[in-house]
Structure 1
Amino acid sequence: MNEASRSTLSVSAEADTRQVMLECRGLGRTYREGPQDVTVLDGLELAVRAGERVAVVGSSGSGKTTLLNLLGGLDQPSGGTVRIAGQDLAGLDAAELGRFRNRHIGFVYQFHHLLAEFTARENVALALLIRGLKRKVAEARAGEILAKVGMAPRTDHKPGELSGGERQRVAIARALITDPSVMLMDEPTGNLDQATASSILALMDELAATAACAFVVVTHDRGLAAHQDRVLHLDGGRLQPAG
């Protein structure tokens, strides 16, 4: 990749002094399929700063899910590095990586994956309970985050009692409660009607203005992508500015 292309994948240090929260250098992932090696990512470069929203678009099979799994520490690269808040994920063992994810990485998926038997408050508090906080403290913090995403009146409702948009707001609150360095969002509006999706976009705008984390949104939705600060196209295992 030439220097002109590389510079488009990160914000110039002179233009933006916010901390780089997510950085990939030379990121590669190759899978073995029968007698052949299949390269999905090949020398990928990316840097995202605090408060910045980056959309990654690409055709089915282009490697978007693979990229998201690598950024979230759910898979290991065949080459290159992923750094979050300055920490190289390759330097962590399985237990350390689990603790690091709990503190630094928030996930939001197309399907909310909330626990059906838990209330909104309990679903959101779970990450802090896993961290070892007392239930009273964790649930109080969960109430605060739910209020931030407009769910204060619904904190004691279970997922089956919530609308699709409300469930997605709870999922976003669950991702935010750990004060992550990076928010990874996989088609966050893909399962919502247009009006509800618009409300989630408005919420993302509010969060980006106040949260000190980087946002990476993987999507097929060109409208959602255009709503972000930068749009990158994943093709041939590398990221390029979307045309």
Structure 2
Amino acid sequence: MNDTAMTRTLDRQPVQGEVMLECRGLTRIYREGPRDLTVLDELELSVRAGERVAVVGSSGSGKTTLLNLLGGLDRPSHGEVRIADQSLLAMGDADLGRFRNRHIGFVYQFHHLLAEFTALENAALPLIVRGQRKKVAEARALQLLARVGMEDRADHKPGELSGGERQRVAIARALVTDPSLVLMDEPTGNLDQATAASILALMDELADSAACAFVIVTHDPALAAHQDRVMRLDGGRLSPQSDPG
């Protein structure tokens, strides 16, 4: 992809209701000894700007594999992922890295914060990688840390934070770039009820005001029920689920 074309696509404000994420025939096959293991099988998914979709399913059903494919962290065996009408498969590794940085926020289940950096530095890192001045990046990161209740812990390193606090820093880091798509793997798993509620309120605000799309993998029925749609991953395919429990 041409860098100029990529920048033009990503700098445009998403329009509420337009298709932001689209998967067609998404398949992921792993080799296990003498046999192939199909984790995702011709999976179909479409998510619009401003929409929040929860994905539920049993352990080992492929939920994290799906998020990794949607975020370009892994490549499918077959099929296609398109974000903002751009095919991830059409991008080389360097272009894909720039695309992810500018367009996708990712909340991992196990944080992946850098141990030698403070909470503020971790949250600001995606903007610094993008080329923003450190002072500007950290000012924006501090705003997000305040939104998740971590402003007073901004100068602490991950080893000095609880699991729930590290998760909140990871959420601030995912949102600091104002992404069009946010992928979350059990985002409230380590949070108390009050903090989880504040995170849900922030997600609602971003979905409504910035037309940010969310795909959230979770085992939490309350979190799933809060989203616009709940999809169940079973047998490598997604199907609607009216009751998230």
The answer for the alignment partner of 1:185 in structure 2 is: 184
2:24 is equivalent to residue 55 of structure 1: no
Please give the alpha-carbon distance, in whole angstroms, between the structure 1 residues aligned to 2:164 and 2:80. Answer: 35
Instruction: Indicate conservation of the 8 Å contact 2:16/2:211, yes or no.
Output: no
The answer for the alignment partner of 1:172 in structure 2 is: 171
The answer for the alignment partner of 2:94 in structure 1 is: 95
Q: TM-score, normalised by structure 2?
A: 0.85
The answer for the alignment partner of 1:211 in structure 2 is: 210
- The range that moved more, 151-160 or 41-50, is 151-160
Name the SS of the counterpart of 1:231 in structure 2: strand
Name the SS of the counterpart of 1:22 in structure 2: strand
Instruction: Indicate conservation of the 8 Å contact 1:108/1:185, yes or no.
Output: yes
Instruction: Indicate conservation of the 8 Å contact 1:109/1:188, yes or no.
Output: yes
Question: How far does the alpha carbon of each residue in 1:168-208 deviate from its partner, in whole angstroms, 9 at most, with x for none?
Answer: 22211111112212100000111234444333333333333
Please give the alpha-carbon distance, in whole angstroms, between the structure 1 residues aligned to 2:191 and 2:143. Answer: 25
The answer for the alignment partner of 2:229 in structure 1 is: 230
The answer for the alignment partner of 1:12 in structure 2 is: none
Amino acid at match of 2:102: R
Q: Structure 1 residues 206 and 159, CA, compared in 2 at 3 Å: closer, same or farther?
A: farther
Instruction: Indicate conservation of the 8 Å contact 2:16/2:49, yes or no.
Output: no
Question: How far does the alpha carbon of each residue in 1:48-92 deviate from its partner, in whole angstroms, 9 at most, with x for none?
Answer: 111111000011121111111100101111111101111100000
Name the SS of the counterpart of 2:47 in structure 1: strand
Please give the alpha-carbon distance, in whole angstroms, between the structure 1 residues aligned to 2:141 and 2:192. Answer: 26
Percentage of matched positions with identical amino acids: 78
Please give the alpha-carbon distance, in whole angstroms, between the structure 2 residues aligned to 1:20 and 1:58. Answer: 24
* Counterparts of residues 73-112 of structure 1 (less than 5 Å): 73-112=72-111
Amino acid at match of 1:90: L
Name the SS of the counterpart of 1:74 in structure 2: coil
Name the SS of the counterpart of 1:18 in structure 2: coil
Q: TM-score, normalised by structure 1?
A: 0.85
The answer for the alignment partner of 1:29 in structure 2 is: 28
- The range that moved more, 120-129 or 226-235, is 120-129
- The range that moved more, 25-34 or 193-202, is 193-202
Q: CA deviation at 1:229?
A: 0.7
Q: Structure 1 residues 227 and 161, CA, compared in 2 at 3 Å: closer, same or farther?
A: same
Please give the alpha-carbon distance, in whole angstroms, between the structure 1 residues aligned to 2:206 and 2:167. Answer: 14
Task: Figure out how many residues of one structure are paired with residues of the other and give that number.
Answer: 228
The answer for the alignment partner of 1:46 in structure 2 is: 45
The answer for the alignment partner of 2:9 in structure 1 is: none
2:135 is equivalent to residue 141 of structure 1: no
Question: How far does the alpha carbon of each residue in 1:91-120 deviate from its partner, in whole angstroms, 9 at most, with x for none?
Answer: 001111111111111111233222233222
The answer for the alignment partner of 2:66 in structure 1 is: 67
Name the SS of the counterpart of 1:126 in structure 2: helix
Q: CA deviation at 1:129?
A: 1.4
Please give the alpha-carbon distance, in whole angstroms, between the structure 2 residues aligned to 1:145 and 1:193. Answer: 18
Amino acid at match of 2:186: E
Amino acid at match of 2:30: Y
Question: How far does the alpha carbon of each residue in 1:129-151 deviate from its partner, in whole angstroms, 9 at most, with x for none?
Answer: 11222222222222233334343
Q: Structure 1 residues 98 and 112, CA, compared in 2 at 3 Å: closer, same or farther?
A: same
Please give the alpha-carbon distance, in whole angstroms, between the structure 2 residues aligned to 1:86 and 1:218. Answer: 23
- The range that moved more, 162-171 or 84-93, is 162-171
The answer for the alignment partner of 1:7 in structure 2 is: none
The answer for the alignment partner of 1:13 in structure 2 is: none
Name the SS of the counterpart of 1:143 in structure 2: helix
Please give the alpha-carbon distance, in whole angstroms, between the structure 2 residues aligned to 1:168 and 1:202. Answer: 16
Q: Structure 1 residues 162 and 209, CA, compared in 2 at 3 Å: closer, same or farther?
A: farther
Instruction: Indicate conservation of the 8 Å contact 2:148/2:199, yes or no.
Output: no
